[in-house]
Amino acid sequence: MRLAAVALASVSLLALAPSDPPALPEQMADTGGGSQLITAQAPREDSTSGTLTWWDRRDGHWVKAGSAAARFGAKGLAEGGSRKQGSNTTPTGLYDLPFAFGTKAAPAGTSVAYRPVRDESWWCQDNDSRSYNRWTEPRPADCRASESEHLIAYKAQYAYALVVGFNYERPVRGRGAGIFLHVNGAGTTAGCVSVSEDAMRRVLGWADPARAPRIAIGTVSGGTAITRY
């Protein structure tokens, strides 16, 4: 009788024990409709570091495929819809990943569209240009070099990169251009998300365009909480 009582008490304690919280993507309002997702989460809006995690949708649930330490903008994060160009903030929100590029050859297993960076490769950030927030080869006459990125000049950071679809489909002048997921530099970014070179190789080998991968960027809580997106 005493053993039965102990067993019953143990079962009761297990029933009362808190269960593990749902995986982060399962707490989100939207994950983009695909079966792959990258989350880039920072503790607060003023944080310059956090965690990048990539997930697979399997049997109705999100399963972690990998994770790495991440860096954000020098001024933290800002709501993507109201972000200002030159603010050194990383835009929060849910975005597609139009294509990848790099100063190095695509890692083994890469299936996303991958563009090699050449001497004439630029990313136009000139608000007055028709090529605003676009890859250009060569740089067009109406896109000032002083307002753009000569991609090959960033051999380490752009060894491997994924374009984040922030302000990309229908660019709004002044909101920001050239937001990427790329390799770490010496410190924080000007608004991109960065991880180690090894992590970028793993992400590129994992991402499958047939599974419509997206990236969600946000904070743990508050107005820019990743779960809002």
pLDDT for the residue numbered 20: 81
Residue 4 predicted with pLDDT over 50: no
**What single string gives the DSSP state of each residue in the chain?**
-HHHHHHHHHHHHHHHSPPPPPPGGGGSS---SSSEEEEEEESSTT-SEEEEEEEEEETTEEEEEEEEEEE-BTTBEEEGGG--TTS--EEEEEEE---EEESSPPPTT--S-EEE--TT-EEE--TTSTTTTEEESS--TTS-GGGEEEGGG-TTTTSSEEE--TT-SSPPTTT----EEEE--SS-BSS-EEE-HHHHHHHHHH--GGG--EEEEEESSSTTBGGG-
pLDDT for the residue numbered 18: 60
Confidence band of 6 (pLDDT split at 50, 70, 90): very low
Tens of pLDDT along 147-172?
Answer: 999 999 999 999 999 999 999 999 99
pLDDT for the residue numbered 5: 46
pLDDT for the residue numbered 7: 46
Tens of pLDDT along 40-97?
Answer: 999 999 999 999 999 999 999 999 999 999 999 999 999 999 999 999 999 999 999 9
Averaged pLDDT score across all residues of the chain: 94
> pTM here?
0.91
Q: Average pLDDT in the 2-24 region?
A: 58
pLDDT for the residue numbered 21: 87
